[in-house]
């Protein structure tokens, strides 16, 4: 299965782009030389995430749990200490970022 998320030229150099994904949202962003897609869901109670560009981390809008943008690891807050954000499996083809599964 392959599902287009967005064109690469729509992804900002800094910050994230929120993209609809089967009734939910994902943050799409650049991390070094990689393009990443992470569910807009905190691992505490499922709250939405904001992206803090200066600190390069995601912060839960509800309870302020913080997660590293490069690997999704919890940094602080009420989310379980070993929790990690949910990244989507992606692939770039012809200038489009796709979610891929089962290929």
Query: Domain residues of the chain, as ranges?
Result: 2-100
CA distance 38 to 83: 14
7 vs 102, residue with greater confidence:
7
- Could you tell me whether strands 90-93 and 74-76 are parallel, antiparallel, or unpaired per DSSP bridges? unpaired
Mean pLDDT of all residues in 28-41? 94
Q: How many residues does the chain have?
A: 103
User: What pLDDT is recorded for position 82?
Assistant: 94
As a whole number, mean pLDDT of residues 34-62 equals: 96
Calculate mean pLDDT across residues 21-44.
95
Specify the CATH number for 2-100; select among 3.40.50.300, 2.102.10.10, 1.10.760.10, 1.20.120.160.
2.102.10.10
Query: Could you tell me the pTM of the whole model?
Result: 0.93
Tokens at residue 76, please? 């602080």
Indicate the SS3 state at residue 8. Answer: helix
């Amino acid at each position: 299965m392959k599902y287009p998320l967005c064109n690469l030229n729509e992804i900002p150099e800094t910050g994230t782009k929120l993209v609809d994904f089967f009734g939910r949202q994902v943050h799409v962003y650049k991390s070094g030389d990689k393009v990443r897609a992470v569910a807009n869901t905190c691992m505490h109670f499922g709250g939405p995430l904001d992206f803090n560009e200066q600190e390069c981390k995601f912060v839960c809008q509800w309870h302020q749990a913080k997660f590293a943008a490069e690997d999704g690891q919890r940094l602080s807050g009420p989310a379980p200490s070993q929790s990690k954000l949910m990244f989507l499996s992606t692939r770039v083809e012809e200038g489009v970022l796709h979610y891929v599964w089962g290929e």
